[in-house]
Structure 1
Amino acid sequence: MKSIIITGASSGIGHATAELFLQEGWRVGLIARRSEPLEALAEGYSTAVPMPADVTDAAGMQAAFDSFGHLDVLFNNAGLFGTPGTIDEIDLDDWTQVMNVNIGGMFIAARLAFRQMRRQDPQGGRIINNGSLSAYVPRPNSVCYTTTKHAVTGLTKTLSLDGRPFGIACGQIDIGNAETALLAELKKTQPGTETMDVSNAARSVLHMAQMPAEANVQFMTVMATTMPYIGRG
């Protein structure tokens, strides 16, 4: 049975992806801060493993990974947008929070997955980082989020390079306007925002995860067809 750990599994893209992998028969480690939604998601699935943890808590994350065992795939998904505004309007505490989750948390999860995949037998695995269209073209008033997503791209490329000797592949999925609670809030302030069903993002992650060891989706962009990405810069 293939195994995957998904961070940010309690809601949005992480929840939809976890549910799809469970339906496909994978053993799925569910990581998020709150245990209640993870337990609710796990109901009816014998292969679901709720592992409540904060991605910024290195010790808690290590305990979660150590308890899970053999790992084929990490979907490094947890992240937050932060308070919108121009750089002079952003409180430094808000900046630090977004950095800690979107970069620090992703680094911690990738580090633990890389270590597990390097040492397990058979060696190897796959790390899928959740980037964003903002890794290429920012939204207005998104300086914290956009900065982190550019950093994620650097992390993805470095993991791809450093993972080669150990059979560890790394790819990045850049998702545009999947219909989640976060996007619902955005649509309140930006009427007419074009979205797609979140299941399209989940199926794309599954496609990346199911690639044979000899192949890797390095970067994938999946987005609402009519959203203003091309030409929005």
Structure 2
Amino acid sequence: MTATSCTKIALVTGAGSGIGRAAALGLLADGFTVVLAGRRAEPLQALVDQAASRGQRALAVPTDVTDPASVQALFDTIEATYGRLDVVFNNAGVNAPAVPMDELPLEKWFSVIDTNVTGVFLCARAAFGLMRRQSPQGGRIINNGSISAHTPRPFTAPYTASKHAVSGITKAIALDGRAFNIVASQIDIGNALTELSERMTRGVLQANGTTASEPMMDATHVANAVRHIAALPLQANVLNMTVMASHMPFVGRG
């Protein structure tokens, strides 16, 4: 199948749940054909079936973003199926236990860096190449950052380091993509309620040593931010956006 001239193709990684699923649903509602990438096939296929029931078009491609061969297979499938890619939402990410860094198992460090940094780079690299080759040339890469790209929480060295790295990758894409009409954005997210973040409503370690529950926002607000950026013409860009629960500790954190 080849994309028609009016069809926009989007890729969402980590699309099986949480923010990725919400963003995929939003892009589908906006008329994108959406490629759904994630490690678990079942929730991806469920989303494909849901889209089909609404007359929307989605394709599930189970993918491990930490594996170069798996990422290459994902982008080979996109190019062979649609011939182009207009938007990428690099959303897949993991965290590590909140413990003093000398107690952190090294495999947890490598897991976070492999997923949140190398995974983002591998997908951005492959997207950059496809967007550079395709005609018309260009596209948009949106990276999932975090308010931890600005201010850390206690005992979050791996996650904080990974999101600072994402900021560097985003700026590098924005600079290097100018010659090819490729733009990059980063959405720094704070306290979006998902299956993984629900625990924060029961208490999170604060910088002053106390534990406190924190306000949360619905993940659809993040999805709407992705939709806004994805809808812009390539002549305009949101380089950085922070979307957060209004009363969470960030400004003046600690």
The two structures have a TM-score, normalised by structure 2, of 0.89
Rounded Cα–Cα distance in structure 2 between residues aligned with 1:61 and 1:98: 17
Residue of structure 1 in register with 2:174 after alignment: 160
Alignment partner, residue 95 of structure 1: 109
Matching residue of 1:149:
163
- Given the alignment of the two structures, is residue 220 of structure 1 paired with residue 230 of structure 2, yes or no? no
Deviation at 1:25, TM superposition (A): 1.6
The 5 Å alignment of 1:1-233 reads 1-46=7-52, 47-69=57-79, 70-190=84-204, 191-233=212-254
1:87 maps to amino acid: M
Structure showing greater radius of gyration is: 2
Superimposed CA distance per residue, residues 27-50 of structure 1 (whole angstroms, 9 cap, x where no aligned partner): 000000010000001114241010
In structure 2, C-alpha distance between the alignment counterparts of 1:121 and 1:210, rounded to whole Å: 19
Distance 1:115 1:77 in 2: 19
Give the AA of the match of 1:41.
Answer: L
4+ aligned runs moved over 3 Å, structure 1? none
* Deviates most, 169-178 or 59-68: 59-68
The aligned counterpart of 2:209 is none
1:114-162 CA-partner distances (Å, limit 9, x unpaired): 0000000100000000000000011111111000000000000001000
Give the length in aligned residue pairs: 233
Structure 1 window deviating more from structure 2 (125-134 vs 46-55): it is 46-55
Paired residue secondary structure (1:137): coil
Contact persistence 1:85–1:143 (CA under 8 A): no
SS in 2 for 1:51: strand
Q: Structure 1: how far apart are the matches of 2:132 and 2:97?
A: 37
- How far apart, CA to CA, are the structure 2 residues paired with 1:38 and 1:123? 29
* One-letter amino acid of the structure 2 residue matched with residue 45 of structure 1: A
What is the TM-score with the length of structure 1 in the denominator? 0.97
SS at 2:217's partner residue? coil
Q: Percent identity?
A: 50
- The superposition leaves residues 155-207 of structure 1 with CA deviations (integer Å, 9 ceiling, x where unpaired) of 00001000000000001000110111111123334342110011000000110
Asked whether the equivalents of residues 192 and 216 of structure 2 are also in contact (C-alpha less than 8 Å), the reply is yes
Shift of 1:22: 1.2
2:107 partner amino acid? D
Structure 1 match to 2:207: none
Q: C-alpha displacement at 1:212, in angstroms?
A: 0.9
User: 1:44 & 1:225 partners in 2: Cα distance?
Assistant: 32
Per mean C-alpha deviation after superposition, the further-off stretch among 127-136 and 90-99 is: 90-99
